[in-house]
């Protein structure tokens, strides 16, 4: 009777722990996959043409934006974080992600190109 109780307890502990472990692995894996996918899809090269801090906009010559079905061109972008405008000046090469935010094409991720 005591042996049965012990093995039942071990079984319960094992069953209880396994789903938690599996869920943790799964969540971490999902996040990693998503980050990789969005980076590959949306990070685009651009060259700064003009920065308009008062309007919160920057003019970029950019490569194709596949997520927006947009070919390479020169155009004005809004920026999600106005502080990024302080890190850009005409002639700078940057890498960025753009998305359509409330009808305005907006830079949602920015980093200086190395
Ligand atoms: Cu464009």
CA of 63 to the centre of ligand 1 (A): 8
Per-domain residue ranges of the chain: 1-42, 43-112
Distance 112 CA to ligand 1 centre (A): 19
62 Cα to the center of ligand 1, angstroms: 7
CA dist., res. 108 & res. 98, Å (int): 5
pLDDT in tens, 101-110: 999 999 999 9
pTM: 0.64
Cα(3)–Cα(35) distance, integer angstroms: 49
How would residue 33 be classed by pLDDT, with cut points 50, 70 and 90? very low
Centre of ligand 1 to C-alpha 114, Å, is: 22
Given the candidates 2.40.50.140, 2.40.50.320, 3.40.630.10, 3.30.70.1060, the CATH classification of the domain at 43-112 is 2.40.50.320
For 67-99, b where at least 16 C-beta lie within 10 A, e where not — what string?
eeebeeeeeebbbbeeebbeebeeebebbbbbe
Spacing, Cα 44 to ligand 1 middle (Å): 11
pLDDT at 90 over 90: yes
Summarised one tens digit per residue, pLDDT across range 35-87 is 444 444 568 999 999 999 999 999 999 999 999 999 999 999 999 999 999 99
State the distance from the centre of ligand 1 to the C-alpha of 71, rounded, in angstroms. 7
């Amino acid at each position: 009777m005591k042996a049965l109780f012990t093995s039942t307890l071990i079984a319960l502990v094992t069953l209880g722990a396994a789903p938690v472990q599996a869920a943790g692995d799964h969540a971490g894996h999902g996040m990693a996959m998503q980050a990789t996918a969005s980076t590959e899809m949306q990070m685009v090269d651009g060259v700064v043409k003009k920065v308009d801090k008062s309007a919160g906009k920057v003019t970029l010559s950019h490569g194709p934006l596949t997520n927006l079905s947009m070919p390479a061109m020169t155009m004005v972008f809004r920026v999600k974080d106005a502080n990024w405008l302080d890190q850009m000046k005409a002639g700078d090469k940057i890498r960025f992600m753009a998305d359509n935010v409330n009808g305005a094409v907006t830079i949602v991720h920015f980093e200086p190109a190395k």
